[in-house]
A and B are shown apart, each in its own frame.
Chain A
Amino acid sequence: MEALVRQGVDTIFGYPGGVVLPLYDEMLNWPQVKHVLVRHEQCAAHMADGYARATGRVGVCLATSGPGATNLVTGIATAIMDSIPMVAITGNVNSAAIGKDAFQETDIQGITIPITKHNYLVTDVNDLPRVLEEAFFLANTGRKGPVLVDIPKDVFIAMTDAPFPDKVERRGYKLAGAPPVEQVDVVAKLIAEAKKPVIIAGAGVIWSRSWESLRELAEKAQIPVINSLLGLGSFPRDHELSLGMMGMHGEAAGTLAVQEADLVMGIGMRFDDRLTGNTNAFAENAKIVHFDLDPSEIGKTVRPVAWVEGDLAESLKMLVPKVAEKRHDEWVAQVKKWQNEYPLVVPTGKFLSRTVLNSLNQHAGAHAIFSTDVGQHQMWTAQFIKFTQPYHFLSSGGLGTMGYGFPAAIGAKFAHPDKEVWAIVGDGGFQMTLQELQTAVEYEVNVKICLLNNGYLGMVRQWQELFYDNRYSSVEMGSPNFGKLADAYGLKYFQCSRVEDLEETLKQASAHDGPVLCEFVVEMEENVFPMVPAGKSNSNVIMDPALTNGEDYNAVHASWETGHGRRVPGAESEHTSDDVYASGTVTK
């Protein structure tokens, strides 16, 4: 407990059990650390993760041995994939019983080796102060990530006078500092030469707190900025150079811009397959430049011509003064033309997930924290919520963990009691972790749940529709009566299934002082567009059929033009090719 307090930990998320009894007993002596009792250990990890993503600080979770520890696994794997600082503490059976298949014994160290930045089994209490200090240091420095500390029951009970180290030193762990100046010079020169540059900014910009430098760079050389999914918030969406997310379900302008660009600068991102599409056809006309803290990311999926290894906080600061002021008016005009030609659309006359999220953006997009599960609603959130600040978008990007959104929102709300926090979930994901409704009610956690209920596992259904000939297999999702469920748990519930009620529902949900479950009964079969089919080139982006099939829609243009979401009833697109959808190819 002393170690936690030393680290400034104010909240831990956990679940007790036999071998962690000594720790839970000791906890009563440390009232400055709040323990949140969850209803499933997976959610303790997700809450710690949500707490970390919303603050930039280390999230802490705690579980007992055996099943308690294994239940953390999905949450830890979620954190490693997105480089989230987390310390997971698990109890284990007495040291003497380890390896003897004792009751509730599991080799959690062995299990979590591939999904932790580092992990420990502490068998000597004299090591404990050093190990805990190291665990927090490792989790929260360099490329961040989860660290697990497994502590046998007898070690919890034993006393030690071993001091906490003043400084953590590991010969095998060196923090990246400033990059070599030559690497930065090369990039500055490439920027000077470029005619059609773009930046793809990832979560590294957020975790290194470099968003100011990014903005300076973009403005100084007039470079459009695209975000990876987790990079949303690193560059304000209401900035005129912001193109939003690119990739499989990114906005078309960004995806097309990268295909057309002559310089693509990946900054604090990892050229993930959902972003690049087929890497052989990715940014074919461009020189690729990569900034990353982790040298193993450089050249892992795409081949950059130049790279800058090191802490973005240093490297971007070094780069900005070396870049000359520059205009790319023609290029930016071209990019904006794509934005106008292929806007995000919300077809009218139906009650769609997009209708809800577009409205939620207008209602709370500028100030609230949003978490999501995984699937269609996650992509629509990334598209329609116009994030302007870092630490406001919590989503499992790498692992794609359903059930993440609701507990992550609870974790974020504990970190930011004064902020409005929305969990955007689908009927599938919500049913994976809805037992935490009790946690929310018990602790009076004022989270707003936006449940988009379409009765399907929407993304899977969309793939079955598009790539498996409409052969729907195990994607219909029955649900309980959510109103009765909310009653049973004792929280406020709204149901909304009409556009007319939407604004009032959101208003009342926000105003209510306490957790709220808002169920939006939306159109069952709605697809996410644009879409780049898995493994295809980004040039094969499939546009929203509503743009060409004569359907009425509201176009949601870039927010820099009109404020949040301009409505253009029934606007005609300039793009007239009827076969956009069928052929899946856009001719530029």
Chain B
Amino acid sequence: MSDVKLPTHSHAISALVQNETGTINRLVSMFRRRGISLASFNAGDCEQPGYSRLTITVNGDDSVLGQTIKQMEKLIDVVECQDLAPDDRVMREVALVSYYPSQISREAVLAVASEYEAKIEHDTENCLVLQYTGPVRLVEKYLEAMQTFPVREIVRSGPCVLKVSDQ
């Protein structure tokens, strides 16, 4: 499946940050203070010990984006950060959905799930959990389809983005 374009006002920023006490707090505080609304925020270990790679999606026009990048770069913890255009990135999101098996038609739910190649991660008498990973737009379509059945809970990871480069 190919990556999809976010709406024009949404940007995916990838950042490499040095891990210290307060690093995430400092980033989130900057966004809040400057009134930049975060659509998602994702952080995790990466290939470099002591550093994390983040994915942040923000909504706004180019001037908001420009300020966001500049303000992030100003933070001492931020080693690099860039707005990745759809052609320069792979972006994926994980969605987990759970059901009470007694409240659904198992066959019908699994039929939809298999269209998306979603996997069963937990399957007991009282709880069925399905996992789907894909581009954001398909995650949204998938969740829309899965919500035609009475859902117990949904959780989304928020997108993760990785820069692609052929050089």
- A residues engaging B (CB < 8 A)? 109-110, 113-114, 117-121, 123, 138, 170-173, 294-296, 299-300
> In the complex, how many angstroms separate the beta carbon of A131 from the nearest chain B beta carbon?
10
A118 — which chain B residues lie within 8 A by C-beta?
A: 75-77
Stretch at the interface among B26-34, B122-130, B149-157: B26-34
Q: How far apart are A452's CB and chain B's nearest CB, in angstroms?
A: 35
- Complex Cα spacing A121 to B66, Å: 31
Is A295's CB under 8 angstroms from B76's CB? no
Given A121-B22, A171-B79; 18 other pairs, CB 8 A cutoff: A109-B21, A113-B22, A113-B25, A113-B26, A114-B29, A114-B33, A118-B76, A119-B22, A120-B21, A170-B18, A172-B18, A172-B76, A172-B77, A172-B78, A172-B80, A173-B76, A295-B70, A300-B67
Choose one: A114, A120, A296, A299; the contact of B74 (CB below 8 Å): A296
Q: How far is the CA of A109 from the CA of B79 in the complex (A)?
A: 21
Name which residue of chain A comes closest to B72, CB basis.
Answer: A296
- With known contacts A120-B20, A172-B17, A295–B33 Cβ distance under 8 A: no
Q: Which residues of A contact B73 (CB under 8 A)?
A: 295-296
Closest chain B residue to A127, Cβ basis: B20
Report the bound CA distance from A295 to B63 in whole Å.
Answer: 13
List 15 contacting pairs A-B, 8 Å CB cutoff, sorted by A.
A109-B21, A110-B22, A110-B25, A113-B29, A114-B29, A118-B75, A118-B77, A121-B21, A123-B21, A138-B76, A172-B17, A172-B18, A296-B67, A296-B71, A296-B74
Tell me the minimal C-beta distance from B48 to chain A in angstroms.
10
Contacts of B80 in A (CB 8 A): 172
Which residues of B lie under 8 Å from residue A123 when comparing CB positions? Answer: 21
Q: Which residues of B contact A170 (CB under 8 A)?
A: 18, 76
Binary per-residue interface labels of chain B (3-34) against chain A in the complex, 1 for a CB within 8 Å, 0 otherwise: 00000000000000110111001100110010
CB distance from B23 to the nearest CB of A (A): 10
Q: Are A296 and B70 interface neighbours, CB within 8 A?
A: yes
Q: Type the 1/0 row for B74-96, where 1 means its CB is closer than 8 Å to any CB of A.
A: 11111110000000000000000
* Chain A residue with the shortest CB-CB distance to B33: A114
Is B79 a contact partner of A299 (Cβ separation < 8 A)?
A: no
Q: Given the complex of chains A and B, what is the CA–CA distance between A110 and B20 in angstroms?
A: 13
Is there contact, CB below 8 Å, between B74 and A294?
yes
Question: In the complex, how many angstroms separate the beta carbon of B46 from the nearest chain A beta carbon?
Answer: 13
Contacts of A113 in B (CB 8 A): 22, 25-26, 29
Task: List the A side residues contacting B76 at CB < 8 Å.
Answer: 117-118, 138, 170, 172-173
Q: Chain A residues with Cβ under 8 A from B26's Cβ?
A: 113
Q: Which residues, 30 to 88 on B, are CB-close (under 8 Å) to A?
A: 30, 33, 63, 66-67, 70-71, 73-80
Q: What CA separation (Å) do A171 and B49 show in the bound complex?
A: 14
A173 cross-chain contacts in B, Cβ below 8 A: 76
B117 to chain A, nearest CB (A): 39
Report the separation of the CA atoms of residues A123 and B70 in the bound assembly, to the nearest whole angstrom. Answer: 30
State in angstroms the CA–CA spacing of A114 and B31 once bound together: 10
Bound Cα distance from A38 to B79, whole angstroms: 39
Contact B18 A171 (CB under 8 A): yes
B79 touches A172 (CB 8 A): yes
What distance in Å separates the Cβ of B31 from its nearest Cβ neighbour in chain A? 11
Q: List chain B residues, Cβ under 8 A from A110.
A: 22, 25
Q: Which residue of A lies closest to B21 (CB)?
A: A121
The minimal Cβ–Cβ distance linking A298 to chain B, given in whole angstroms, is 8
A116 to B: closest C-beta gap in Å: 9
| A295-B33 Cα distance, complex, nearest whole Å | 18
Give A114 to B25 CA distance when docked, in angstroms.
Answer: 10
Q: Is the CB of B30 within 8 A of A114?
A: yes
Q: What are the 7 closest A-B residue pairs judged by CB atoms, nearest first?
A: A296-B70, A118-B76, A171-B79, A172-B79, A121-B21, A113-B29, A172-B78
CA distance A117 to B17 in the complex (A): 16
Which B residues lie within 8 Å of A120 (CB)?
A: 20-21
Residue in A closest to B66 when the chains form the complex, CB atoms: A299
State the CA gap A170–B75 with chains docked (Å).
11
Could you tell me the distance in whole angstroms from the C-beta of A398 to the nearest C-beta in chain B? 14
In the complex the two chains form, is B22's CB within 8 Å of A109's CB? Answer: yes
Q: Taking the nearest CB of chain A, how far is it from the CB of B1, in angstroms? A: 35
- Residues of A with C-beta under 8 A to B77: 118, 172
Taking CB atoms, residues of chain A closer than 8 Å to B33 are: 114
Shortest beta-carbon distance, B103 to chain A, in Å? 42
Residue of B nearest to A143 (CB): B74
- The interface residues of chain B lying within 8 Å CB-to-CB of A172 are 17-18, 75-80
Bound: A120/B22 CA distance, A? 8
